[in-house]
Structure 1
Amino acid sequence: MNFYTEKKHNEKNKELPIYKNVDVLVVGSGPSGLAAAIASSRTGAKTMIVERYGCFGGVISQVGVEGFAWYRHTNTIEAGGIAFEFEERAKKIGGELKEVQSISQALDAEYFKIVADELIEEAGVLPLLHTMVVEAILENGVIKGVIAEGKSGRFAIMASRIIDCTGDGDVAAKAGAPFRKRDQLHSVTPLFNVKGVNKQKFQNYIENDLKPTYADWKGEWEMSTNGKEDHLFSPYLVKPFTQAIADGYLVADDMIDYGGSYSSVTDEGDVTQLNVVFIRGVDCTDVEELTRAEITGRKAVLNAIRVMNKYVPGFEHAKLRNFGMTLGTRESRQIEGHYSMTGDDVMNQARFEDSIGIFPEFIDGNGILWIPTTGRYYQIPLRALLPYKVKNLLVAGRAISGDIMAHASFRNMSCCVVTGQGAGVVAALSIRDNVDPSHVDIKSIHCELERQKVRYE
């Protein structure tokens, strides 16, 4: 969509105040941004984190994706590090819920705001909420800082290194780093929670009537597995929606797919992270399309609740408790990095000399579902975090460099923590050693990752 009109307005050139001058600036505070900022500060760099919303936590606290490690089974091998700290700290303050399809615990979205606040404060990171980065400051291909805006006005933040953890590669794009964006992107989802569910009646329906497994995934969720996942329980709700459409109770929509999963069921009758509405054809870097999807999504959620009231035992009196603060986005920009990860890397346990962490053989997207039950894993190379053309910039999270199949793995939250922690360590060490991030001694990186309890090999 062409967002702009042909008319132009000349913005006045004016001097801007410099708000801060730091070693490392992290833009975005989702799982990757939190990990990047904490790791950078722990490595000794003066670090600042900037977030456009009023809380840290990104897809966890803002979108409401609470199933942080829903792929985890007995033999799953993971990197550890800050990802495990998220879970430990949530448990410590009572902010965890039983995740129904794995041996992990879900992270309560509201409690996680406190977890994030505490971790940022304890690490000595300078926090700034309600602030949006609008421009990159460059000199001869080297990023020197950003221009940001908030209710306080427009100002600059200068930094020796910048880590883009926006998820959409916003800083990289503004800095002129090359990126890819597919014409047909993954769908977006308005996550929501409901209250008033009869827990026992609902669980009886799931366990004795529906008996869902990963082999049941259809529609937007239709996947090919390698067989080992097919018998495993999945909290998958599609039957009520297909029946409602067949009965004429729910009108089919070419742009919306209904049916999906949930994360937890509380004793009080709350069902969390209902992931049952999928909106196609949305470019999450276009604010008009985002606006349409937000409004359309809320209407679709009410349709979904109405269907579950009628067709899901235990949901007869369920009501909306809350929406996530914003849509859940699966895909947008991906940088072109010095190495582009591939599905082959993920599926064949790739190993790299410049590994900054590992992630289990978990794929969820692009028509493939592999659950990591066998102990297989792959390494993530630093080069995938380093964009072409812009120096002193690193990217972490789902916007790192890779093909669509690799993206279906590394887009997941706990992998975003791995890339974020690695980026934070590398950024800080590059300042300490006065070298480009691509030239930091890999032994130094691995030594610091070990100190921060991250598995990289």
Structure 2
Amino acid sequence: MSTQIYTLKKEVPIVGKYDVVVCGGGPAGFIAAIASAREGAKTALIEQYGFLGGMATAGLVNPLSVFTYNNEKVIGGIPWEFIERLRSMGGALIEKPLGNVAFEPELYKLCCQRMVLETGVDLYMHSYLSGCVCRENAVSLVIIENKNGTEAIEADIFIDCTGDADLAAMAGVPMLGDEGKPLQPLSTYFALGGVDTESKLIKEAMHHNNQGENCHCIPVREKLLLLKDKLGIPEFGGPWFCTTLQPGIVTVNMTRTSGNAIDNRDFTRAECELREDVFKMAGILKENFDEFKNSYVTAVAVHGGIRETRRIKGIHMISAQEYLEAYNYPDSISRGAHPIDIHVAKGATQNITFLKTPAFVPYRALIAENHPNLLVAGRPISADKTAFASLRVQASCMGMGQAAGVAAAMCSKYNCTVQNIDTDTLRARLRTIGAVV
């Protein structure tokens, strides 16, 4: 069927002018906004939902991993300040020695909202990024849609923390190829109440605290594999259960399907399929495991869990060899310690490689050539698919967001391009605020 084109012209009000605009309020984005504002930049944060936290809160992706490795802190500064503050509110459990952090999603939303607003960041919630205007490859303004209509926001520097490189794609940044490999599958997390969280099985499964171990629940997994054909169990991974710090409630990561989250029709199909699978899986757990006999679905993630979409072609692409060998770049601005974790859509297999030493992230992987005022942080980082399979997790994204926020504020202050920033000065400043570089 041919597609008809309708040309729409309208006047769009410019509702704000900032030093730094961050697009996306997930783990990378809200940390980037805080970092930028604390460095003195007038900062705005655009978020499509009415709350912050991204995959943690909209996706219920629990726990946050990995903050410490080999008994040393890997991600520090503002991200760790957030964790400590969330813990003080009763919303976080720091698992030792690995430094994974289980959390309560509603308190997570409240904590990051408070920290963002306390720094003076202007929040544009319920606002969907729909376009941008570029002049000579520099983004001059972004277009958002909300209940006020279509609006524009100007800035000196923009940070793409959308998770899917949406702004970078709109600005014409080239993307890395798929290396002949499929996208990692989508998963919809859900929460179950009425679980016997005092049972030995669940007590052991819901705490992710051992370095070098895949924390999936092996007894449940083995029984599900035996029953798969008989009960018509959908494709699944894990399963991984995680505490929410509330008695009787765990989050569940086990659904999976293939899908491209930057294709609207395909993502819609996948989310509908996954929502059906959530209730199938919940019923199977309830009917076949004593620990779940009184369980019920208390929440289904607002947004399907996305492991992989676009990755920018940055000035430097982090390779698997560099990552596994923990190559220390001269412009390193953050670290990564999660295992290289590659899921498949069909079958229950998982390719997982644990790191010997925490890896490094170079600043050059956050920027592209010829795009003078745009940084990315989080999933869109410039890395091959193997290195990316570790860096995509939330603690790593927070570390990158912190670096991007400080860098953006510096570029605005000193009127320089993101390519011409003094990375020695950037690294020194990051160390001062507690980052591990």
The aligned residue for residue 197 of structure 1 is 195
Kindly state the Cα deviation for residue 369 of structure 1 after the two structures are TM-superposed: 2.4
Per the alignment, residue 221 of structure 1 pairs with none
Match of 1:7 in 2: 3
State how far apart, in whole Å, the 2-side matches of 1:211 and 1:79 are. Answer: 23
Name the SS for the 2:132 alignment partner: strand
The 1:411/1:314 distance shift into structure 2, 3 A limit, reads: same
- Structure 2 contact 91–108 (Cα < 8 Å) conserved: yes
Deviation at 1:415, TM superposition (A): 0.5
Q: CA deviation at 1:401?
A: 0.4
Offset, 1:70 = 5.4
**Which letter maps to 2:436?**
R
TM-superposition CA deviations, 1:88-112 (whole Å, max 9, x none): 1111111124659955431211111
Determine the structure 2 residue equivalent to 1:133.
129
The answer to whether the 8 A contact 2:69-2:337 is kept is: no
Q: Secondary structure at the match of 1:158?
A: strand
- In the TM superposition, residue 29 of structure 1 has moved relative to its aligned partner by 0.6
Aligned residue for 1:292, secondary structure, equals: helix
Q: Kindly indicate whether residue 387 of structure 2 is the aligned counterpart of residue 406 of structure 1.
A: yes
Match of 1:261 in 2: 240
Which residue of structure 1 lines up, in the alignment, with residue 275 of structure 2? 298
Change (3 A) 1:213 1:108: closer
Q: Return the letter of the residue paired with 1:356.
A: I
Note the aligned Cα RMSD (angstroms): 2.5
1:90 aligned onto 2:86:
yes
* In the alignment, structure 1 residue 432 sits paired with structure 2 residue 408: no
Deviation of 1:268 after TM superposition, in Å, equals: 2.5
How far does residue 347 in structure 1 lie from its aligned partner after superposition? 0.7
Deviation at 1:279, TM superposition (A): 1.0
How many Å separate the matches in 1 of 2:246 and 2:29?
33
Give the equivalent residue in structure 1 for 2:287: 310
| Cα deviation 1:111-154 (Å, max 9, x = unaligned) | 11101111101111111100011111101111111111111100
Report whether the alignment pairs 1:187 with 2:185: yes
Deviations 1:36-94 (A, max 9, x none): 11111111111100000110110111111120125755524403112212211111111
Distance in structure 1 (CA, Å) of the matches to 2:102 and 2:387: 24
The gaps in structure 2 that reach 5 residues or longer are: 344-349
Question: Alpha carbons of 1:419 and 1:233: their partners in 2 closer, same or farther (altered >3 Å)?
Answer: closer
Partner of 2:256, secondary structure, is strand
Q: TM-score, with normalisation over the residues of structure 2?
A: 0.91
Q: C-alpha separation between the residues in 1 aligned to 2:209 and 2:431?
A: 36
SS of the residue 1:229 aligns to? coil
1:148 aligns with 2:144: yes
Which piece of structure 1 moves more, 20-29 or 96-105?
A: 96-105
Change (3 A) 1:204 1:341: closer
User: In the alignment, is residue 334 of structure 1 matched against residue 311 of structure 2?
Assistant: yes
2:212 partner letter? E
Matched letter for residue 197 of structure 2? K
Of 301, 316, 324, which residue of structure 2 is paired with 1:324? 301
- The 1:213/1:263 distance shift into structure 2, 3 A limit, reads closer
* Superposed displacement of residue 10, structure 1: 2.5
In structure 2, C-alpha distance between the alignment counterparts of 1:371 and 1:434, rounded to whole Å: 41
Helix, strand or coil at the partner of 2:28 = helix
Give aligned-pair identity as a percent.
Answer: 29
For 1:379, what is the secondary structure of its paired residue? Answer: strand
Counterpart in the other structure of 2:29: 33
1: CA distance, partners of 2:158 / 2:207: 44
CA distance in structure 1 between the aligned counterparts of 2:43 and 2:244, rounded to whole angstroms = 38
Scaled by the length of structure 1, the TM-score of the pair is 0.87
Structure 1: runs of 5+ lacking an equivalent: 216-227
Superposed CA deviations along residues 304-324 of structure 1, whole A, max 9, x for unmatched, are 111111222211111001011
Partner of 2:55: 59
